């Protein structure tokens, strides 16, 4: 039986979090807020909820940038922090933009295929980065380049949807209209999510990391 000295204290995991991890959790909180606001918009139709849901994406990006800067400033890097960062990113820059798009009216059968594909690409891209980060860093503490576009680039998709909401171009008024393809409906706007997902999982596209 472990002694009182060896027994973990209450909330020991929280006590062990670094300051950078708190910013990472702020990123995840913004992502969840975006999802909840998008859900509320579907129920209420209040455009303010939709705009605020979209605005959570740049807020999450600010937290995502700050957690890296804080980690470098305090010289605190850990495997836990890296995993937290990836999990937060998939919420804020994967699931949240997809939920926002669905709330905006991208709810046709082919739209759902594109949105699910986008999220799966984001998950795959983050998993690949975590596995290959040590190799890509080439013996340094910093990864030299990204393979494929980083998942936070999906902020651009959220900003496009924000513009659509602001201009009241959502629902039946989505830009580029809709197309019947076979048994399902496609809004061409959903193809932006397909393109974004494809760029994330590209192994030939290499972007320098600054």
* pLDDT of residue 153 exceeding 70: yes
Q: Is 197 part of any domain?
A: yes
Q: Is 9 part of any domain?
A: no
The domain in which residue 45 lies consists of 17-208
Question: Which domain CATH number covers 135?
Answer: 1.20.120.1760
Confidence band of 17 (pLDDT split at 50, 70, 90): low
Q: Is 5 part of any domain?
A: no
Q: Is 1 part of any domain?
A: no
* pLDDT of residue 2 exceeding 70: no
- DSSP state letters, 83-140: HHHHHHHHIIIIIHHHHHHHHHT--SHHHHHHHHHHHHHHHHHHHHHHHHHHHHHTTS
Percent of the chain beyond pLDDT 70?
Answer: 79
Q: What is the mean pLDDT of the chain?
A: 87
Q: Is 36 part of any domain?
A: yes
Q: Is 78 part of any domain?
A: yes
Q: Is 186 part of any domain?
A: yes
Of 183, 202, 199, residue with least CA distance to 191: 199
Of 79, 84, 90, residue with least CA distance to 22: 84
pTM: 0.87
pLDDT digits (tens, 9 = 90+) for 88-136: 999 999 999 999 999 999 999 999 999 999 999 999 999 988 887 656 5
pLDDT digits (tens, 9 = 90+) for 187-201: 999 999 999 999 999
Number of independent structural domains in the chain: 1
pLDDT digits (tens, 9 = 90+) for 19-69: 778 889 999 999 999 999 999 999 999 999 999 999 999 999 999 999 878
Q: Is 75 part of any domain?
A: yes
């Amino acid at each position: 039986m472990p002694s009182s000295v060896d027994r973990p204290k209450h909330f020991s995991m929280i006590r062990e979090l670094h300051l950078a991890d708190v910013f990472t959790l702020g990123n995840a909180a913004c992502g969840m807020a975006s999802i909840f606001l998008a859900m509320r918009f579907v129920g209420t139709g209040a455009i303010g909820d939709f705009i605020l849901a979209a605005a959570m994406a740049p807020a999450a990006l600010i937290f995502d940038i700050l957690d890296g800067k804080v980690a470098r400033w305090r010289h605190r890097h850990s495997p836990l922090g890296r995993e937290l960062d990836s999990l937060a990113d998939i919420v804020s820059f994967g699931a949240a933009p997809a939920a926002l798009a669905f709330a905006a009216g991208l709810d046709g059968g082919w739209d759902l295929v594109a949105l699910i594909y986008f999220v799966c690409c984001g998950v795959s891209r983050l998993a690949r980065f975590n596995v290959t980060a040590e190799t890509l860093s080439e013996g340094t503490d910093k990864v030299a380049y990204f393979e494929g576009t980083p998942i936070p680039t999906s902020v651009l998709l959220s900003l496009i949807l924000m513009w659509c909401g602001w201009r009241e171009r959502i629902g039946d008024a989505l830009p580029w209209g809709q197309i019947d393809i076979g048994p399902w409906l496609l809004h061409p706007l959903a193809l932006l999510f397909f393109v974004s997902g494809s760029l994330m999982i590209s192994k030939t596209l290499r972007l320098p990391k600054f």
